[in-house]
A and B are shown apart, each in its own frame.
Chain A
């Protein structure tokens, strides 16, 4: 006769990370397994905490724009934009209309390249090497456009408090849009594979479930939240020129890895469309407002990065240096939902599920 102790499956703890082929940045997960099934996950982060928020004590509020842009190498430009929006609010700075549209244009280019980069990494996580290479080849063309228009490939550096540092001549803007339309057509060659390929579906459908209720309870943001059927997107707050453009948040109801993949694939086309709309409606005029004085007051700017909602909380007390600079990044918010999505999965699915939050640990730890 077997005892209860003998019938209860034996538990094993498997360490995942901080060094792992699917993790460009370090996060450690202790996976508690019963046979091959994950029953509990204990996260451990903090390997690359840089203390960037504390730099406000020695950098003035203008210099902090450069620090904000360096929080992340993928969504760098929206970090800079978010910081500028927060400071502009407490200093009551009216940004010129052209600068607002330029911000949308570059932010959407950033979203396109980030999503395509992620799609490539995601394909790589389940061994689809050729799809990874095609994705990154297309992304390279977006990066080339970014370099031509901003001068930077990683740090765009286009945003400044009061407007933008650079402009795009109207003729150049037209030719960039023509180029983008050609790239958009080429994107179909990868997104159709992601949507229809048997092996992609096999590795993503019904895997890493996160219900709508859990997404709200656990504070999910961005595509992670929208793939659970919640139509929430910080761009709907209407910052920059988003309030003047026609678009709706993209949602999926599958609540699984495939739904997150599809949200991002569809957001690539939405980002192209928003970039075209911004280029089409871009008015002529100045691109910056002169900034005088020091910030006083507090504000939490909420912007939509490719990975989800980012919060830039700033508090000024009338000095050059802010009293508080706080960044809540989407990856930081998506860690608890990730733990939920991992519960009950099989061990080989862990890398795939981890990638569906599009983890950016240097963002999360700042």
Chain B
């Protein structure tokens, strides 16, 4: 079992560009950006320096899913942000390279847009394979 500490700080979406800029100036690299479906949508930005993870999380209502881009600090975020636009229907403002929903060639547009997490049921656990 991995025992790595993975602290996550909740922030407002307006703080995101400045937080990203701060992490960049402190020498952190962007590890991943992950959006979790539901309402509100949860978007986690994770950074690493010397094997220590630091993450920020924002929550945005699904109906007004507009977030600022962090490509001003981390250009490599363009793949994550374009992916979020394509899969979740989130509008990312000031994206350095905007594929405008055409990053992936999808049969179903924004498949996660109306998806929500599975609801707890009174099951007894998955079958041991």
- A323 with B118: CB separation less than 8 A: yes
Nearest A residue to B106 via CB reads: A49
Q: Which of A291, A299, A315 contacts B36 (CB 8 A)?
A: A315
| Chain B stretch 68-114: residues in CB contact (< 8 A) with chain A | 74-76, 78-79, 86, 97, 99, 102-106, 111-112
- A323 with B2: CB separation less than 8 A: no
CA–CA, A61 and B6, complex, Å: 22
| Chain A stretch 307-349: residues in CB contact (< 8 A) with chain B | 309, 311, 313, 315, 317-324, 326, 328, 332-333, 335-337
A23 is an interface residue with CB less than 8 A from chain B: no
Q: Which of B1, B37, B46 contacts A324 (CB 8 A)?
A: B37
Q: Which of B27, B46, B105, B115 contacts A47 (CB 8 A)?
A: B105
Interface of B is mostly: loop
CA–CA, A222 and B2, complex, Å: 20
CA–CA, A239 and B104, complex, Å: 33
A237 is an interface residue with CB less than 8 A from chain B: yes
Taking each of A88, A300, A328, A365, which has the highest tally of chain B beta carbons within 10 Å of its own beta carbon? Answer: A300
User: Which residues from A are CB-within-8-Å of B51?
Assistant: 232, 236-237
Q: How many A-B residue pairs have CB under 8 A?
A: 132
| Chain B stretch 115-129: residues in CB contact (< 8 A) with chain A | 115, 117-121, 123, 125-129
- A336 with B79: CB separation less than 8 A: yes
- B105 with A49: CB separation less than 8 A: yes
CA–CA, A160 and B126, complex, Å: 13
B11 is an interface residue with CB less than 8 A from chain A: no
The distance from the CB of A16 to the nearest CB of chain B, in whole angstroms, is: 17
CA–CA, A63 and B129, complex, Å: 8
Q: Which of B29, B53, B117, B127 contacts A300 (CB 8 A)?
A: B53
The distance from the CB of B89 to the nearest CB of chain A, in whole angstroms, is: 14
User: Which residues from A are CB-within-8-Å of B63?
Assistant: none
B31 is an interface residue with CB less than 8 A from chain A: yes
The distance from the CB of A110 to the nearest CB of chain B, in whole angstroms, is: 19
- A333 with B76: CB separation less than 8 A: yes
Classify chain B's interface size.
35 or more
- B75 with A300: CB separation less than 8 A: no
- A88 with B1: CB separation less than 8 A: yes
- A320 with B78: CB separation less than 8 A: no
B67 is an interface residue with CB less than 8 A from chain A: no
User: Which residues from A are CB-within-8-Å of B103?
Assistant: 45-46
| Chain B stretch 14-63: residues in CB contact (< 8 A) with chain A | 24, 27, 29-32, 34, 36-38, 44, 46, 51, 53
A62 is an interface residue with CB less than 8 A from chain B: yes
User: Which residues from A are CB-within-8-Å of B46?
Assistant: 300, 311
- A301 with B121: CB separation less than 8 A: no
CA–CA, A320 and B75, complex, Å: 37
User: Which residues from A are CB-within-8-Å of B115?
Assistant: 54, 57
- A319 with B123: CB separation less than 8 A: yes
A355 is an interface residue with CB less than 8 A from chain B: no
- A326 with B125: CB separation less than 8 A: no
0/1 string, A230-267, CB within 8 A of B gives 1: 00100011010000000000000000000000000000
User: Which residues from B are CB-within-8-Å of A318?
Assistant: 120
- The stretch from A92-100, A113-121, A144-152, A197-205 touching chain B is A92-100
Supposing A49-B106, A293-B125, A336-B79 touch, asked if A216 and B34 sit within 8 A by C-beta, the answer is no
- A324 with B74: CB separation less than 8 A: no
CA–CA, A51 and B129, complex, Å: 24
User: Which residues from A are CB-within-8-Å of B123?
Assistant: 294, 319-320
* Chain A interfacial positions (CB closer than 8 Å to B): 42, 44-47, 49, 51, 54, 56-57, 60-63, 65, 85, 88-89, 92-95, 160, 216-219, 232, 236-237, 239, 290-294, 299-302, 309, 311, 313, 315, 317-324, 326, 328, 332-333, 335-337, 365
The 25 sampled A-B contact pairs (Cβ below 8 Å) are A45-B103, A54-B111, A56-B118, A57-B115, A85-B1, A95-B1, A217-B75, A218-B75, A218-B76, A219-B30, A219-B31, A219-B76, A237-B2, A237-B4, A294-B126, A299-B6, A300-B32, A300-B46, A313-B32, A313-B44, A319-B120, A323-B118, A324-B117, A332-B79, A337-B76
Using A62-B126, A290-B128, A313-B44 as known contacts, list a sample of 19 further A-B pairs with CB atoms less than 8 Å apart, ordered by residue number in A.
A45-B104, A46-B104, A49-B105, A54-B115, A65-B129, A88-B1, A217-B24, A217-B74, A236-B51, A294-B126, A317-B117, A317-B120, A320-B121, A324-B34, A324-B37, A333-B76, A333-B79, A335-B79, A336-B79
